Amino acid sequence: MGHAADLLLEQGEEWLAQGLTYTVLAMLERLPKAVFSARPGLGYLHAEGLRQAGRYAEAEVAYTQTLSAGVDRAVLGLSRLYLDTVEPARAWPHLERARQLFPAEAGPLWAENALNAGRVAEAVRMGLEGPRVYLRSGRPREALEALRQGESRTAPVAQNHREGTLLLSLLEALAGDAQAAEAAAHKGRREGEALGSPFVVALAEARLGHALLGQDRWPEAGAAYRRALALAQGGPPRLQVEPLGGLAALGDPQALAQMLRLSREAGDAWVEAFLTLMVAQVHLRRGERLALPALIGLEDEFLQALALAYPWQGQGVEVLQRYPFLLGPTLLAPPPHRARRLLWEAGALSVAYHPGVRVEIRAEGGLEVRVEGQAVRFKREKTRLMLALLLVRDWSREGLQAALEVSDGEFRVLWSELLNTLEPGRPSRAPGYFLKPYGLLRVPELRVDLWQHPLATPPLAGIEHPELEAFRQRWRSLQHTRLLESSDPSDWLRALELDPTDEQVLTRLLGSAHAEEAWALYSAAMRELELPPNPALSLRLNRQAPPR
């Protein structure tokens, strides 16, 4: 045992550096307590292994015990632990002592902790550089380009928040391509699972939430943040901060209070400012304005500029021109209608007129129109029908007028009402921004569910017109095909609901757990048609029914 202990003391740190974390821990945990007592350095090695494995609470206890036993290097370990967990306030006392005992080794640790605390200028003066420095000093695009060039992973052990793939995901969401951010987050999760690092897996889910938030995919983002928060339980409190910020952005006031409290306890002023701005910008994109608090002591020019531009009414065009990625689907982007209105007012957007509003049209299950988040109602039912027809396809003037069965004068009235409903306050001679003769324009400020994803229920239900019925029939056919391509019998049942007399689909379902429900749909439809059910299918159902 003594020989094994001496070998561990001699080679253990090198083995940890090679990624043999669990091997070293397994060897240490087989040694008797008496061997540990005689060799205090083993306690330090054990603490290092625990930290590297992400077992931070245990590592903290082990470092503290080792320090009490006279192993001064434990102050370096405690400093690294709080660097790993991004808790600069807890790191400073240990770094002060490490600076006195081990000045050469403590220098880079001090610089990294200064960066974590938002003291960017101090970190740079001490020689720290790289993507994280660029990010926290307000150069997110430069950080992204630097990281894109050196993306491949080489470290044999988990780097936690320093993981290149997860930092890349954050930067893509912030200043690049939100879909690339989504892919990087998934990759980061796989890497975390391969490394056996709960910290990296939890952080990957939070970064996935950011990527989805940048694409305004609210429900999916919320699910990712909730997974991240669940995975963070039992870990360092700082790991909860990003998912809490995401949930706060989606409207949870308790999450906002917790995010602010944990950020301040950790001493990370930058992440507090970043997430506060994320919450404010996402609220604005969702149609709500928050009162933005003062961001004190912030050394990030980009975040400072965002705070000054908020809420993007009458000011901020210079920020958009300096950071053009804000005009795309990115995490801290302002609402497109406000950004583009500012550009139009500055003569930097080549359109004749911009209404400065956002419009949402929901065709699933009916027809609902919202302008600036407020539901609108048309004075005339035929104006509503006109919009429904424009959602289906583009038209000629003559074709649309004939489909509506109105006179020239009535058509002009309907068109004027539709224009002014979608663009309130539009000057009388200004050309339409959302409408063209005669169709809808695909502009960033117009969201139409028909354009974004397959609908689960028939579109434009309740609005009767032969053109719309033909459109719904095409939807049923496509939906039917898509559902039958699934391997899930519940999707086949949904396909049968679209055409309850389809005996091929029924045959497939008779061998599933949905057999009785499927037969009930089919037989009811046949009764309505005054036709008898297929006796062969009835016999098959009876054969497959369990004995009573």
Please give the DSSP secondary-structure letter assigned to residue 324: G
Q: Which domain holds residue 30?
A: 2-125
pLDDT at residue 537 tops 50: yes
Mean pLDDT across 431-435: 95
Mean pLDDT across 137-151: 89
At residue 536, the pLDDT reads 86
At residue 153, the pLDDT reads 42
pLDDT at residue 543 tops 80: no
Instruction: Using a pLDDT cut of 90, give the percent of the chain over it.
Output: 72
Which CATH number fits the domain that encloses residue 251?
Answer: 1.25.40
Mean pLDDT, rounded, of the chain: 91
At residue 544, the pLDDT reads 64
At residue 159, the pLDDT reads 60
Q: Which range is least confidently modeled, 37-41, 56-60, 121-125, 197-201?
A: 37-41
Do 263 and 233 share a structural domain?
yes
pLDDT band at 160 (very low <50, low <70, confident <90, very high): low
353 falls within a domain: no
27 falls within a domain: yes
481 falls within a domain: no
56 falls within a domain: yes
- Measured between alpha carbons, how far is 421 from 401 in angstroms, rounded to an integer? 19
141 falls within a domain: no
Which CATH number fits the domain that encloses residue 436?
Answer: 1.10.10
* Neighbour tally for 517: CB within 10 Å: 15
Helix (H, G, I), strand (E, B) or coil at 264: helix
At residue 548, the pLDDT reads 42
Question: pLDDT tens, 369-379?
Answer: 999 999 999 99
Q: Walk across the sheet containing 368-371 and list its strands.
A: 374-375, 368-371, 359-362, 446-448
pLDDT at residue 183 tops 80: yes
Which CATH number fits the domain that encloses residue 39?
Answer: 1.25.40.10
pLDDT at residue 82 tops 50: yes
Do 413 and 340 share a structural domain?
no
69 falls within a domain: yes
Max avg pLDDT among 2-11, 438-447, 488-497: 438-447
At residue 157, the pLDDT reads 53
Do 214 and 332 share a structural domain?
yes
Which residues 6+ apart lie within 8 Å of 441 measured at CB? 432, 433, 434, 435
313 falls within a domain: yes
pLDDT band at 166 (very low <50, low <70, confident <90, very high): very high
Do 367 and 336 share a structural domain?
no
pLDDT at residue 151 tops 70: no
Which residues 6+ apart lie within 8 Å of 326 measured at CB? 319, 320, 332, 333, 334, 339
pLDDT band at 9 (very low <50, low <70, confident <90, very high): confident
Q: What are the φ/ψ torsions at residue 22 (nearest 5 degrees)?
A: -75, -25
- Measured between alpha carbons, how far is 522 from 112 in angstroms, rounded to an integer? 68
Do 378 and 328 share a structural domain?
no
Do 336 and 283 share a structural domain?
yes
Instruction: Answer with the one of 345, 377, 398 that is the final residue of a domain.
Output: 345
Do 378 and 502 share a structural domain?
no
- Measured between alpha carbons, how far is 320 from 334 in angstroms, rounded to an integer? 9
Do 238 and 90 share a structural domain?
no
Question: pLDDT tens, 308-364?
Answer: 999 999 899 999 999 999 999 999 999 999 999 999 999 999 999 999 999 999 999
At residue 18, the pLDDT reads 87
Question: pLDDT tens, 390-415?
Answer: 999 999 999 999 999 999 999 999 99
Instruction: Using a pLDDT cut of 70, give the percent of the chain over it.
Output: 96
Question: pLDDT tens, 19-64?
Answer: 888 888 888 888 888 888 888 889 899 999 999 888 888 999 999 9
Instruction: Answer with the one of 345, 376, 409 that is the final residue of a domain.
Output: 345
At residue 226, the pLDDT reads 98
Mean pLDDT across 76-99: 95
At residue 21, the pLDDT reads 84
Do 377 and 331 share a structural domain?
no
Cis peptide before 311 (omega within 30 of 0): yes
Do 372 and 335 share a structural domain?
no
Q: What are the φ/ψ torsions at residue 440 (nearest 5 degrees)?
A: -100, 140
473 falls within a domain: no
Do 245 and 167 share a structural domain?
yes
pLDDT at residue 91 tops 50: yes
Mean pLDDT across 479-502: 90
Do 52 and 93 share a structural domain?
yes
Which residues 6+ apart lie within 8 Å of 230 measured at CB? none
At residue 538, the pLDDT reads 81
- Structurally, the chain folds into a number of domains equal to 4
Question: Model pTM?
Answer: 0.83
pLDDT band at 242 (very low <50, low <70, confident <90, very high): very high
